[in-house]
Amino acid sequence: MNDIIQKNIDVEDENTFLYLLHEEGIFDEDLFHEYMESVSYVDIENTEKEVIKKIIVRNEYIVRNALYHFLPDDVYTMKNFPSRMSDYIAKIDDENTRLISML
């Protein structure tokens, strides 16, 4: 498995997209693109199904955080929230659809 994906799954490395999103509430666009680029290379021949499931769960977490950002009764807010979040959500959705088709 790709090191970038593993570090984002583990959410322990301060220099990963999901760590910053989870721990700091920061949406780092460059790290998002790095993570999603790595995800785009995942295939069933080289990746265990359990890892694919974890990637899908992490991707759903990103979308949920975007939703929480907009809920008036939720205290979660995202720093550096992209103006075109719909583009990011569409990318996540496309990747999750592709990954689910492998299971």
Percentage of the chain with pLDDT > 90?
Answer: 79
> Residue 83: what pLDDT?
87
CA atoms within 13 A on the CB side of 95: 27
Residue 1 has pLDDT above 80, yes or no: no
> Residue 3: what pLDDT?
95
> Residue 74: what pLDDT?
74
> Residue 45: what pLDDT?
93
Phi/psi at 79 (nearest 5 deg)? -85, 150
44/7 Cα distance (integer angstroms): 20
Question: What would the pLDDT profile of 40-73 be if each residue is shown by its tens digit?
Answer: 999 999 999 999 999 999 999 999 998 888 778 8
Helix ranges restricted to H, the chain = 3-10, 17-19, 29-40, 49-70, 85-100
Specify the pTM. 0.92
Residue 77 has pLDDT above 90, yes or no: no
